């Protein structure tokens, strides 16, 4: 399914329960614009966060911190798996 078909399916499936049967088309348009605005805001926030993360991971200390965190998590998962009773 392409993005061009996902968006109309989303609006037809999710938004009607929030609207009365006699709602004006302007309300549907308002919901669509609010969804677009919230999506834009969230994607801008993710993009800004990725820029900061990239700067952090470019430094040696950042990479070492990431490696230590993921290594600790993997050791914890391994320990939990080893101690699990069957």
- Among the residues of 1-86, which ranges form H helices? 3-14, 25-58, 60-83
CA–CA separation, 50 vs 85, rounded Å? Answer: 40
With pLDDT > 90 as the criterion, what percentage of the chain qualifies? 49
List the domain boundaries for the chain. Answer: 62-86
Rounded to an integer, the average pLDDT of 55-64 is 94
State yes or no: pLDDT of 1 exceeds 70. no
Predicted confidence band at 12 (pLDDT cuts at 50, 70, 90)? confident
Find out whether 15 and 31 touch, Cβ atoms under 8 Å. yes
State yes or no: pLDDT of 5 exceeds 80. no
Give the tens place of pLDDT for each residue, 16-39.
777 777 878 788 788 778 888 888
């Amino acid at each position: 399914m392409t993005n061009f078909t996902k968006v109309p399916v989303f609006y037809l499936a999710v938004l009607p329960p929030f609207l009365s049967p006699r709602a004006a088309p302007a309300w549907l348009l308002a919901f669509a614009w609010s969804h677009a605005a919230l999506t834009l805001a969230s994607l801008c926030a993710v993009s800004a966060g990725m820029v900061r993360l990239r700067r952090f991971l470019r430094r040696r200390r950042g990479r070492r911190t990431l490696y230590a965190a993921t290594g600790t998590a993997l050791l914890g998962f391994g320990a939990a798996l080893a101690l699990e009773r069957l």
